[in-house]
């Protein structure tokens, strides 16, 4: 079932939290709401669940407006960030509660609970209480409780944030598999861009209650709509340099760097910020108009790569990602070259991408 | 190494000694009462006193529970002297049970619902009410008792067990409400929301999720309320004036009246009075801490 959010606004008292959110989540897709803490992701998810009033706008499930529908009539399931298991019930009771309260015959409840427990590999925990489980086990119970009812829409609020790093990586793959099994539209909330990139069909990047960009992971990564998205997506983060456009080149202090052909139409003299990812920078041996001169100020080994921080003119720093076996030393004089085609250009004033606007 | 173990052994021994002393000091009156209640009359004033009776008898308990006359073992003559406290013991016991359970039931139901409302709905004063109610509890009950008595007179409830039920509700409800409020506040709202999404109605959420989670709080408040009501003397003394409607605490004082105090009978009555509270506490205290909100949230 597809979910349509139409000009959703929300304020708590006089404080606006969501502003004109307009999104369509296609049926059976894995959609992620991504943004820093406090940007309104949880609030939006709770509005979809019916736990929070809508100040203005409409939510549709399919063709049906659900603004005034009680949570239990929406056929949704939700995994809370805190898991919110029923503390006095065993795992079996926790899993089956949604079915029991909907007057499902006992035998059906039992078989559904057993089935989900087997899929999630928690069948040996069925008679324990939540207090006797580890964080990872609780998380699976919360997941199971949501899966057991075969919901149309599956809502998850940072379900992995309380797990340790290793478990988080394995659970990413599992959640993705469960999504495919469940055949439901999944709305997933996270502040972790890596989680969003690896799991989602579509990502809505949010900031201060406003949707900044809505697109596939490839789109938000390679064609960020504005400075915020460019800086939020990708790791290590994108480098930003301020300067002016001058006859198709980007002028920063002494250097004049070439820009992608598309930028020729930009008005000369425009104040811009260019963004380039550390992966798209490289070291060259000789100085030239396409390269920035600088001194290596930090070398960080990331494993298979090294992250080199270079101090360039005006005390600016940029980071360059190179292979781990590169021989770069602290204090070395280097020249950094840009991969012209992967440079992003943003209007300094509006913070919007100049390139995307021209496409 | 050895010095260290020696030191810690000494500390442990000192700790146990201290604990034993305190335990003996606390338990001695109880044990003495139990011992006296089991002695035949001839042994009660024996010198030197015996802690463990040479010969035990249940005649005191029998007298209390069967309501038989026991004062002077001469029979006929003393029966004519009028009713004796022992004859009313079972009656008073039942009265105490009635007023204690009645007032506790009312206090718990009202305070649980009030606490739920105070923590889950938004209205004016929702944050102040619990504190004022705690303040109300701190006012000594001697200040309440006479205004309440005048109210009972107006309601024509004097010398009626109902007046005690209402009186005890007045002193236990504020504290129970504050306790339940503090407890309900600690129950994460998410578990209720999860139940709402699972398909429960508001009532089902309350019955299936909130109540079981709040159970340790309810038990704590019940124990408090029962102890206060069961042990009250003041209200029972002021509100009730017929022998039939007395509660245990006031009734047992009547064993002191007259020229002859039957210590064996008095001690047996005290022991029987202690038993219900002791049994209740032992049965319930396990639930007090067990499973308090454990594992509902995070890991
Ligand atoms: N019940 C509430 N009352 C007042 N403000 C709230 C409430 N819930 C959330 N907020 C505010 O709304 C903003 C968005 O919160 P939230 O949706 O939880 O953000 P996120 O999940 O993205 O971290 C925050 O500034 C938060 O303080
Ligand atoms: Mg959140």
For residue A157, the domain's CATH number is: 3.40.50.300
Query: Are A21 and A88 found together in one domain?
Result: yes
Give the ligand 1 atom nearest the CA of A209.
14
Q: Bigger pLDDT: B133 or B114?
A: B114
Domain total in chain A: 2
Residue B81 placed within a domain = no
**CATH code for the domain in which residue B219 is found:** 1.10.3720.10
Q: How far apart are CA B55 and CA B228, in angstroms?
A: 36
Q: Cα separations (Å) of A282 from A136, A250, A263, A305, A306?
A: 41, 18, 22, 13, 12
- What value, to the nearest 5°, has the Cα angle with vertex A119 and ends A114 and A120? 100
Domain-ending residue, one of B57, B76, B102? B57
Taking the centre of ligand 2 as the mean of its atom positions, its distance from the CA of residue A144, in whole angstroms, is 21
Query: Are A163 and A273 found together in one domain?
Result: no
Query: Are B17 and B99 found together in one domain?
Result: no
Q: How far apart are CA B11 and CA A205, in angstroms?
A: 62
Residue A276: the pLDDT is 93
Query: Are A228 and A248 found together in one domain?
Result: no
- For residue B205, list chain A residues with Cβ-Cβ distance below 8 A: none
Query: Are A258 and A115 found together in one domain?
Result: no
Q: Taking each helix axis as running N to C, give the angle between helix B59-66 and helix B2-38, from 0 to 180 degrees, rounded to the nearest 10.
A: 60
**Which residues neighbour B246 within 8 Å (Cβ) at sequence distance 6 or greater?**
B88, B92, B95, B236, B240, B254
**CATH code for the domain in which residue A347 is found:** 2.40.50.140
Residue B289: the pLDDT is 61
Query: Are A244 and A189 found together in one domain?
Result: no
- For residue B200, list chain A residues with Cβ-Cβ distance below 8 A: 72, 97, 101
For residue B28, the enclosing domain spans: 2-57
Q: How many beta-carbon contacts under 8 Å exist across A and B?
A: 104
pLDDT tens profile B200-219: 999 999 999 999 999 889 99
Residue B77 placed within a domain = no
Residue B291: the pLDDT is 39
Tokens read off for B141: 């009950």
Distance from chain centroid for Cα B58: 26
Q: Whose CA is nearest to atom 8 of ligand 1?
A: A43
Query: Are A92 and A223 found together in one domain?
Result: yes
Q: How far apart are CA B193 and CA B190, in angstroms?
A: 5
Q: Taking each helix axis as running N to C, give the angle between helix B85-120 and helix B263-289, from 0 to 180 degrees, rounded to the nearest 10.
A: 20
Of the candidates B291, B257, B265, B231, the one whose C-alpha atom is nearest the C-alpha of residue B89 is B265
Query: Are B51 and B177 found together in one domain?
Result: no
Query: Are B125 and B227 found together in one domain?
Result: yes
**pLDDT tier at B292 (50, 70, 90 boundaries)?**
very low
Query: Are A306 and A246 found together in one domain?
Result: yes
Give the ligand 1 atom nearest the CA of A46.
17
Query: Are B36 and B171 found together in one domain?
Result: no
Of the candidates A172, A5, A147, the one whose C-alpha atom is nearest the C-alpha of residue A78 is A147
Quick one: DSSP state of residue B112? H
Query: Are B38 and B185 found together in one domain?
Result: no
Query: Are B166 and B34 found together in one domain?
Result: no
**Mean of pLDDT values over B271-299:** 70
- For residue A138, list chain B residues with Cβ-Cβ distance below 8 A: 295, 299
Q: How far apart are CA A57 and CA A51, in angstroms?
A: 16
Query: Are A84 and A196 found together in one domain?
Result: yes
Residue B79 placed within a domain = no
- Measured in degrees and rounded to the nearest 5, phi and psi for residue A11 equal -135, 145
For residue A336, the enclosing domain spans: 239-358
B297, closest residue in chain A (CA to CA): A82
* H helices present in chain A, as ranges: 41-49, 91-101, 106-119, 135-147, 165-182, 193-199, 217-222, 227-232, 354-358
Residue A359: the pLDDT is 63
pLDDT tens digits in sequence order for chain A, 359 residues long: 899 999 999 999 999 999 999 999 999 999 999 999 999 999 999 999 999 999 999 999 999 999 999 999 999 999 999 999 999 999 999 999 999 999 999 999 999 999 999 989 999 999 999 999 999 999 999 999 999 988 999 999 999 988 888 888 988 998 999 899 888 999 999 999 999 999 999 999 999 999 999 999 999 999 999 999 999 999 899 999 998 888 778 888 777 788 877 777 777 888 899 999 999 999 988 877 778 889 999 999 988 999 999 998 888 899 999 998 888 899 999 999 888 888 899 999 999 998 776 66
Residue A320: the pLDDT is 94
Query: Are B123 and B183 found together in one domain?
Result: yes
> What is the Cα Rg of chain A in Å?
24
Query: Are B93 and B186 found together in one domain?
Result: yes
Mean pLDDT, chain B, integer: 86
Domain-ending residue, one of A185, A212, A232? A232
Query: Are B9 and B98 found together in one domain?
Result: no
* H helices present in A149-206, as ranges: 165-182, 193-199
What per-residue string of b and e applies to B146-170 under the rule 16 or more CB within 10 Å gives b?
Answer: eebbeebeeeebbebbebbbbbbbb
Domain total in chain B: 2
**Sheet of A281-284: strands edge to edge?**
A281-284, A333-338, A291-301, A305-311, A317-323
Which residue has tokens 């009501």?
B229
Is residue B90 predicted with pLDDT exceeding 70?
A: yes
Report yes or no: B176 at the A interface, CB cutoff 8 Å. Answer: no
Contact B247, B97 (CB under 8 A): no
Please report, to the nearest 10 degrees, the dihedral formed by the alpha carbons of residues B20, B21, B27, B32 taken in order: 120
Residue B233 placed within a domain = yes
Give me the sign of the Cα torsion angle B145, B149, B155, B157.
positive
Query: Are B250 and B130 found together in one domain?
Result: yes
Tokens read off for B212: 């079981």
**Which residues neighbour A336 within 8 Å (Cβ) at sequence distance 6 or greater?**
A281, A282, A283, A284, A291, A292, A293, A294, A310, A312, A318, A320
Domain-ending residue, one of A232, A258, A286? A232
Query: Are B45 and B101 found together in one domain?
Result: no
Asked whether the bond before B89 is cis by omega within 30 degrees of 0, the reply is no
Q: Cα separations (Å) of A132 from A88, A142, B299?
A: 11, 14, 10
Give me the sign of the Cα torsion angle B54, B58, B63, B65.
positive
Q: How far apart are CA B24 and CA B31, in angstroms?
A: 9
Query: Are B27 and B135 found together in one domain?
Result: no
So what's the ipTM on this one?
Answer: 0.87
Contact A160, A129 (CB under 8 A): no
Q: Cα separations (Å) of A72 from A75, A93, B212, B232?
A: 6, 18, 21, 48
Q: pTM of the prediction?
A: 0.83
Phi-psi region of A62 (alpha: psi -120 to 50; beta: other; left: phi over 0): left
Tell whether ligand 1 has an atom less than 6 A from the beta carbon of residue A37: yes
Residue B297: the pLDDT is 43
Q: Taking each helix axis as running N to C, give the angle between helix B141-154 and helix B161-185, from 0 to 180 degrees, rounded to the nearest 10.
A: 130
Report yes or no: A13 at the B interface, CB cutoff 8 Å. Answer: no
Q: Which of B5-9, B133-137, B179-183 has the highest mean pLDDT?
A: B179-183
- Count the neighbouring beta carbons within 10 Å of the beta carbon of residue B212: 15
Domain-ending residue, one of A183, A208, A232? A232
Residue B207 placed within a domain = yes
Q: Do B208 and A101 touch (CB under 8 A)?
A: yes
Contact A310, A336 (CB under 8 A): yes
Q: Bigger pLDDT: B165 or B296?
A: B165
Query: Are A184 and A108 found together in one domain?
Result: yes
Q: How far apart are CA A21 and CA A96, in angstroms?
A: 35
**Mean of pLDDT values over B142-146:** 88
């Amino acid at each position: 079932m597809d979910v349509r959010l139409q000009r959703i606004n929300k304020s708590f008292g006089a404080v606006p939290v969501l502003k004109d959110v307009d999104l369509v989540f296609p049926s059976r897709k894995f959609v992620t709401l991504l943004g820093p803490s406090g940007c309104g992701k949880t609030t939006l998810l709770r509005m979809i669940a019916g736990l929070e009033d809508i100040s203005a706008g409409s939510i549709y499930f399919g063709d049906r407006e659900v603004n005034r529908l009680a949570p239990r009539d929406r056929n949704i399931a939700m995994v809370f960030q805190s898991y919110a298991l029923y503390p006095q019930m065993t795992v079996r009771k926790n899993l089956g509660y949604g079915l029991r309260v909907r007057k499902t015959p006992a035998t059906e409840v039992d078989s559904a609970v057993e089935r989900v427990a087997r899929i999630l590999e928690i069948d040996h925990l069925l008679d324990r209480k939540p207090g006797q489980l580890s964080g990872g086990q609780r998380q699976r119970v919360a997941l199971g409780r949501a899966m057991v009812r075969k919901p149309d829409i599956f809502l998850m609020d940072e379900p992995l944030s309380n797990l340790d790093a290793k478990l988080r990586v394995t659970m990413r793959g599992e959640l993705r598999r469960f999504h495919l099994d469940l055949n439901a539209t999944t709305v997933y909330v996270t502040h972790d861009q890596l989680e969003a990139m690896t799991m989602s069909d579509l990502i809505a990047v949010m900031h201060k209650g406003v949707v900044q960009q809505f697109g596939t992971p490839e789109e938000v990564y390679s064609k960020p709509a504005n400075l915020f998205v460019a800086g939020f997506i990708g790791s290590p983060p994108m480098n930003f340099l301020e300067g002016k456009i001058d006859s198709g080149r980007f002028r920063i202090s002494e250097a004049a760097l070439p820009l992608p052909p598309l930028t020729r139409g930009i008005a000369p003299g425009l104040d811009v910020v260019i963004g380039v990812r550390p992966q798209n920078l490289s070291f060259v041996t000789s100085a030239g108009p396409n390269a920035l001169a600088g001194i290596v100020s930090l070398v960080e080994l990331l494993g298979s790569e090294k992250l080199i921080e270079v101090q360039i003119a005006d005390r600016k720093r940029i980071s360059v990602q190179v292979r781990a076996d590169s021989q770069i030393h602290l204090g070395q004089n280097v020249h950094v070259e840009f991969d012209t085609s992967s440079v992003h250009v943003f209007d300094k004033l509006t913070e919007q991408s100049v390139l995307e606007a021209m496409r | 190494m050895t010095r260290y173990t020696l030191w810690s052994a000494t500390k442990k021994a000192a700790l146990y000694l201290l604990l034993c002393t305190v335990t003996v000091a606390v338990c001695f009156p109880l044990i003495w009462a139990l011992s006296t209640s089991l002695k035949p009359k001839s042994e009660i004033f024996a010198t030197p006193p015996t802690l463990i009776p040479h010969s035990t008898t249940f005649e005191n308990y029998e007298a209390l529970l069967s309501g038989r006359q026991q004062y002077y073992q001469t029979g006929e003559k003393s029966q004519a002297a009028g009713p004796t406290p022992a004859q009313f013991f079972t009656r008073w016991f039942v009265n105490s049970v009635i007023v204690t359970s009645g007032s506790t039931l009312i206090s718990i139901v009202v305070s649980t619902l009030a606490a739920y409302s105070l923590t889950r709905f938004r209205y004016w004063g929702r944050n102040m009410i619990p504190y004022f109610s705690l303040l109300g509890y701190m006012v000594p009950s001697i200040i309440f008792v006479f205004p309440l008595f005048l109210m009972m007179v107006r309601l024509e409830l004097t010398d009626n067990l109902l007046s005690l039920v209402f009186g005890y509700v007045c002193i236990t409800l504020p504290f129970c409400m504050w306790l339940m409020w503090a407890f309900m506040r600690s129950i994460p709202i998410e578990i209720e929301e999860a139940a709402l999404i699972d398909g429960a109605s508001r009532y089902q959420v309350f019955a299936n999720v909130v109540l079981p989670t709040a159970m340790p709080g309810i038990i704590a408040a019940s124990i408090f309320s029962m102890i206060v009501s069961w042990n009250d003397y003041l209200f029972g003394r002021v509100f009730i004036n017929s022998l039939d409607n007395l509660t245990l605490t006031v009734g047992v004082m009547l064993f002191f009246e007259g020229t002859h105090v039957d210590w064996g009978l008095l001690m047996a009555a005290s022991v029987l009075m202690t038993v219900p509270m002791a049994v209740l506490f032992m049965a319930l205290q396990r639930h007090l801490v067990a499973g308090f909100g454990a594992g509902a949230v995070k890991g």
